[in-house]
Amino acid sequence: MNSPFCSFALCITLIIFFFPVHGRWHNHAKNHKHSHHHPHFTISQPPSPSPSPSPPLSPSPEPANPPDDNDGGSSFNATGFFDVRHYGAIGDGTTDDTEAFKMAWDTACQSDNDDYAVILVPYGFSFMIQSTIFTGPCKHGIVFQVDGTFIAPDGPDAWPKSYSAHQWLVFYRVNNMSLRGNGVIDGRGQKWWDLPCKPHRGGKGRTKAGPCDSPIAIRFFMSSNLTVEGLRIKDSPQFHFRFDNCRDVYIDSLTITAPAWSPNTDGIHIENTNGVQILNSVVANGDDCISIGSGSYNVDIRNITCGPGHGISIGSLGNHNSRACVSNITVRDSIIKVSDNGVRIKTWQGGFGAVRGVSFNNIHMDNVRNPIIIDQFYCLNKGCLNQTSAVVVSDISYIDIKGSYDIRSPPMHFGCSDSMPCVNLTLANIELFPSKGDIFLDPFCWNAYGDLQTLTIPPLGCLLEASSRSILETQRDYC
Active site residues per annotation: 310
Rg (CA), the chain: 23
Instruction: Label the pairing between strands 274-284 and 296-306.
Output: parallel
Strand partners, 178: 143, 227
Taking the C-alpha atoms of residue 194 and residue 341, their distance in angstroms, rounded to an integer, is 24
Decide if 175 contacts 224 (C-beta within 8 A).
Answer: yes
Count of alpha carbons within 13 angstroms of residue 180, beta-carbon side: 16
Cα angle value 383/389/395 (rounded, 5°): 110
360 backbone dihedrals φ, ψ, rounded to 5°: -110, 115
Contacts of residue 130, defined as CB under 8 A and 6 or more positions apart, other chains included, come to 96, 98, 153, 160, 163
Give how far Cα 22 sits from Cα of 135, 194, 348, Å. Answer: 22, 18, 16
190 torsion bin: left (phi>0), alpha (psi -120 to 50), beta (else): alpha
Taking the C-alpha atoms of residue 435 and residue 427, their distance in angstroms, rounded to an integer, is 21
Judged on CB neighbours under 10 Å (0-12, 13-18, 19+), 473 is exposed
What single-letter DSSP state applies at residue 238? S
107 backbone dihedrals φ, ψ, rounded to 5°: -65, -45
Residue 310 identity (one-letter amino acid): H
Instruction: Label the pairing between strands 352-368 and 422-434.
Output: unpaired
